[in-house]
Structure 1
Amino acid sequence: MPDSLDIADHSEYIVIRQAAEQIEEAHQPEEAITNILSLISRQMGLNRGRVLLREKGEHVLKAVYSFGLTDLEISRSRFADNEGISGKVMKMGMPVIIPNIDLEDDYLCRTVDRATLPQETVAFIATPILRKGRTVGVLAVNRLKNRSRSLDRDLGILKLIALFIGEILAVNAIIEKQTQVLKEENEQLRAMAVSQGSQYGIIGESPAVMGALSKAARAANVSVTVLLKGESGTGKEKFSRMLHMASSRQDGPFIAINCAAIPLELLESELFGHEKGAFTGATSTKPGKIEMAHRGTLFLDEIGDLDLGLQAKLLRVLEDRSITRIGSNKATPVDVRIIVASHKNLQESVNHGNFRLDLFYRLNVFPIELPALRDRDGDIRLLARHFLNQANQEYHQNVIFDRGALEFLERYEWPGNIRQLENVIKRAVLLAEDAQMITDALIQRIIREESGIVFNGAPPQAREPAALPPVTVHEEVRVVEPQYEVPMHNPPMSVRENVEMKRSYWKVSESEKDVLLQALERAHGNKSHAARMLNMTPRQYNYRFKKLGLS
């Protein structure tokens, strides 16, 4: 070792160097400080090291980090201010050396029983841990007195070690504070996203949907073309409406058009409009959807199905901000924000020559990937309850899920995504018969009736294949319209009568008596708690209770 070093002993140099390196691990203070305490024990014989810190809001010292102490010894290492040697060091902010603990009345032997220590002279050294001139803790060790180094020299090393530990604690406090700020900001963003999403009918709290909502919120007030990507039924139109309603264009029109639902020969006229006499049947001038969306938002769903010729015209609209009606030579300026969506992979369509590369670049400025329902952990249960409540209100029913139904809903892959889930639950509400409860068997039957439908090129599957019995070769595979199927809006009176008739003939099953009473007993007579145990609302529980004549 060079003579210029103040610390002559090589082992002391190693201790100081390696202890200083632990400051870099301040994000893991327990590991860093334990490593330091282990180091001084192995290299210098300063044993049973402990770092005592104040508990928040209390004037009590507690061993937070240690090396060589048992769990029981750690739990006993607690001192009030000015109590014992550690308490006095904390109170005075000055180090203390006890050459022989057996001769010191203030040494309490609280942390480590005297019988546990070697049966020879044992010393105790404690030094304050300082931060900006303030005592924040105490570093304390035991050592055998009969060592070659003096106690004063060991104290000098411990003062340096206490300085390193103080730095580790300070850096970690900064990291924790910044982390807490980030957590709070993320929670605020998450709450904002959830609030915004539910406001526009987007239900869910999974990381996948939160990410999509966050991106949509950032794009809402920016004049940029948004491309919504995702499978059919993932809620692209709801997201497009959210983008419109959360923007400065919310007072303008929102025009939606499905490019795959309109025949090619009519689509151009729908989009761009036409002049009177432009073609046979054009008996009057008609503005197109793009023109109608002036100062608002135009949502073009299934943009991947747009004809190449119309793609070129749409590109011109994006570049020139104007349209020309069929049969006219006059360009009409338009101020419109365009949002597009497609379940197709537009990059593959470009590679296959079915989509223009220049238009793809124009549309792909701000893409948002909408997650498939199977990738939205925890959201299926939220959505299922939401759709159940809607259907109960719409059809004047009082149906509930049994536990098996919810478990199956969460296991199923939902190739038709949210749209399929909603339709299945609406149908289940109308078909539920046994105690007006939706069972997993009913859900499976409804899905099996849809088994002939292909979603995005893939037949429906369950995450656990055994949960959904396969259709045998002797079964007729077809889409079956349920007896009580009704349109989403304004169902005809005859259907309403059928639903009411179905409800009037329904009776509570006698087999429910024991279940209701057992739940009430487990809930100690609290009907609301009993209802929650059975996955019911209090109103549903009380209805069954009265129907069965229970008291």
Structure 2
Amino acid sequence: MDLINDRQSGLLEKIGRIFIDDSAEINLLMSNVFNLIVTYYNIERGMISIYHKEEDEIFVDIHHGYSEEEVNKGIYKPGEGIIGTVVKTGNPYIVMDILNEPKFLNRTGANRNTTANKISFICVPIKLNSSVIGTISVDIINNYGRDLADEYHALTTVSIMIAQAVKGRIDTIARERTLKEENELLRKKISMTSIQGKLIGKSSEMKEVYEKIILVSGSDVTVLITGESGTGKELIADSIHRNSKRSAGPFVKVNVAALPKSLIEAELFGYEKGAFTGADKMKKGRFELAHGGTIFLDEIGDLDISLQVHLLRVLQEKTIERVGGSETIPVDVRVIAATHQNLEEKIKKNEFREDLYYRLNVFPLLSPKLRDRKSDIVLLADHFLELYSAKAEKNINRISTDAIDLLVAYHWPGNVRELENCMERAVIMCSEDVIRNYHLPPSLQIFHENSGHGTLEERTDMFERELIIDALKITNGNISNAAIKLGTTKRILGYKIDKLGIDYRTFRVGDK
């Protein structure tokens, strides 16, 4: 008996230690608790099931020894089987031999090898304020028909300990379901090309980004934006803020990578007068300045690991302390972080805290690469052309067909930022009303040449074809007018059109 009590005490002590670490996510916390139970007792399989009142159904949440297919089958109504009976009555249920229990439905379809071992089954309710919110149920190998009082008391005690965590898990699942339902509604309604006029694109990848922006803007959850450099992560963060209930508040941007390690803490959390040499007056940090609004932490992957615990505290407790001060200052701030790095790899290298990652990654959002949304390249190029033509006070109104071919064919390692720089340069280089392929940067020309367009004849034909097509577009397919515009005769132009295989009729708008 002393051995049994010692084992139970050891289990409860370890469970208590898990609950002390409040940085763990609820589902991770519950999984750790359940794994301890499995380890301490001879448990074949088991589960923590949650009762969802709105659906009036009981679902498996945490499990051991079941396949995902079996878990998906394990759904009960109150009163159905043993689990449903426990939820309905609030009373525990112990079966010494499941083979002889008619209430045991085995709805999961798990293959219980009853010919080799005698399996007992225990199911205890998880209660909060006298209401049943779930169950813990386990299969125990019990060939000798021993008394299961020790296991029953341990499971009952654990059910009391995890009740608040289960309630938190129910709330989390409810929020996730609400978000999913809202997302489905948005998918039917959404038909947009930009959010607040800053994000541009009609591709399916960008429509998904727009949907997620609107979806997450309605809440205050922390967002982690990932994606390559130059994909527009800051614009996404800005759009989330502008479409949120915090839009009237400040939007404070912090580039973590640009701040020296020695200054990051003071910049983020502020400092008191006399905190260090040169601190001749109190200064508020970025978190205080963002009070009532949103703080955007760009390149969060570059935050030194020694400082990550301070950010974790802000996310957990919603308070900060200035450097050199002892006053705890509450802050009402929505946090959006971004990185181009793989934080999971950094966790493996002990360069990023796992608990901080889970706090930041509540709502992940991927900013797509430009090469993955090629249908947006022309739209973006036209936008930048209009923008920089106006700034340069030039009347450049379009991009030639061959220049478009170069833009679309290029792989854009620098993403949208590289495309913007490309179009700004093209506007500077251009002295006519059309951006042509030779106005584009050498990197695009070299890429095109390496793709098999290299001989003098091919390049000459390509250049002539571009000029002729542009002229035919302007003149609505009229060869005579196109010849005049190009400074040649109708006969010579007709010869070139035949040689290059151009169908002038496709440019006659009225004939289409």
Q: Taking structure 1 as the reference length, what is the TM-score of the superposition?
A: 0.49
Q: Distance in 1 between matches of 2:218 and 2:233?
A: 18
Q: CA deviation at 1:306?
A: 0.2
Secondary structure at the aligned position of 1:274 is classed as coil
Alignment of 1:56-71 (within 5 A): none
Q: Aligned residue for 1:425?
A: 423
> What's the counterpart of residue 466 of structure 1?
451
- Structure 1 residue 444: Cα displacement: 3.8
Relative distance call for 1:525 and 1:244 in structure 2 (3 A) is: farther
For residue 522 of structure 1, report the CA deviation from its aligned partner: 2.5
Aligned partners of 1:358 and 1:375: how far apart in 2? 31
Q: Hey, what's the Cα distance between the residues in 1 that align with 2:227 and 2:418?
A: 15
Change in CA separation of 1:436 and 1:257 when aligned onto 2, cut-off 3 Å: same
> Is 1:228–1:341's contact at 8 Å kept on the other side of the alignment?
yes
Structure 1 counterpart of 2:218: 221
Residue 275 (structure 2) aligns with: 278
Say which of 359, 365, 368 aligns to 1:368.
Answer: 365
Which residue of structure 2 lines up, in the alignment, with residue 256 of structure 1?
253
Unaligned runs of 5+ in 2: 1-183, 455-465, 486-512
Which aligned segments of 4 or more residues in structure 1 are displaced greater than 4 angstroms?
184-188, 461-464, 511-519, 523-527
Distance 1:514 1:377 in 2: 23
Aligned-residue offset at 1:288: 0.2
Cα deviation for residue 520 of structure 1 reads 2.4
CA distance in 2, matches of 1:467, 1:416: 23
Kept after mapping to 2: 8 A contact 1:217/1:243:
yes
Give the percent of matched residue pairs that are identical in Structure 1 and Structure 2.
Answer: 42
Match of 2:89 in 1: none
CA distance in 1, matches of 2:315, 2:215: 21
The structure with the larger Rg is: 1
Shift of residue 203, structure 1, vs aligned partner: 0.4
- Residue by residue, what CA displacement relative to the aligned partner does 1:318-363 show, whole Å, maximum 9, x if unpaired? 0010000000011100000000000001111111111000000101
- Partner of residue 520, structure 1: 475
**How many angstroms apart in 2 are the aligned matches of 1:199 and 1:526?**
43
Residue 278 of structure 1: SS of its match in structure 2? coil
Task: Identify if the C-alpha distance between structure 1 residues 526 and 249 changes in structure 2 by more than 3 Å, giving closer, same or farther.
Answer: farther
Quick one: distance in 2 between partners of 1:427 and 1:238? 22
Equivalent residue pairs, number: 288
In structure 1, the residue matched to 2:410 is 412
Partner residue of 1:140? none
Q: Which residue of 2 aligns with 1:398?
A: 395
Aligned to 2:55: none
Of residues 344, 348, 351, the one that matches 1:347 is 344
Q: 2:231 aligns with which of 212, 229, 234?
A: 234
Assess, with a 3 A threshold, how the Cα gap between structure 1 residues 328 and 521 changes in structure 2: closer, same or farther.
closer
Secondary structure at 2:335 match in 1:
strand
- SS of the residue corresponding to residue 295 of structure 2 reads strand
In structure 2, what is the Cα distance between the partners aligned to 1:339 and 1:514? 48
> Any residues of structure 2 matched to 1:21-32 within 5 Å, and which?
none
Contact 1:413/1:463, CA 8 A, preserved across alignment: no
- C-alpha displacement at 1:312, in angstroms? 0.5
Residue 308 of structure 1 corresponds to 305
**Take 1:361 and 1:521, find their aligned partners in 2: how far apart are those partners?**
59
Letter in 1 for 2:428: L
C-alpha separation in 1, matches of 2:469 and 2:321:
73
Aligned CA RMSD, in angstroms, stands at 2.9
TM-score, normalised to structure 2's length? 0.52
Residue 426 of structure 2 contacts residue 439 of structure 2 at CA under 8 Å; is this kept in 1? Answer: yes
* Partner deviation per Cα, 1:10-39 (whole Å, 9 max, x = no partner): xxxxxxxxxxxxxxxxxxxxxxxxxxxxxx
Partner of residue 381, structure 2: 384
Residue 296 (structure 2) aligns with: 299
CA distance 1:410–1:517, change in 2 (3 Å): closer
| Residue pairs, 1:188-199, within 5 angstroms | 188-191=188-191, 193-194=192-193, 197-199=194-196
Stretch deviating more after TM superposition (380-389 or 396-405): 396-405
- Distance in 2 (alpha carbons) for counterparts of 1:212 and 1:517: 39
Say if 1:310 and 1:526 are closer, same or farther in 2 by CA, change over 3 A: farther
Q: List gaps (5 residues or longer) in structure 1.
A: 1-183, 449-460, 470-510, 531-551
Name the CA distance, whole Å, in 1 between partners of 2:453 and 2:364.
36
Deviation of the 1:521 alpha carbon: 6.0
Please state how far the C-alpha of 1:523 moved relative to its aligned partner. Answer: 5.8
| One of 318, 334, 337 as aligned partner of 1:337 | 334
Q: How does 1:395-544 map to 2 (within 5 A)?
A: 395-399=392-396, 400-433=398-431, 435-445=432-442, 462=447, 465-466=450-451, 516=471, 519-520=474-475, 522=477
Q: 1: CA distance between counterparts of 2:409 and 2:270?
A: 47
- Tell me the equivalent position of 1:318: 315
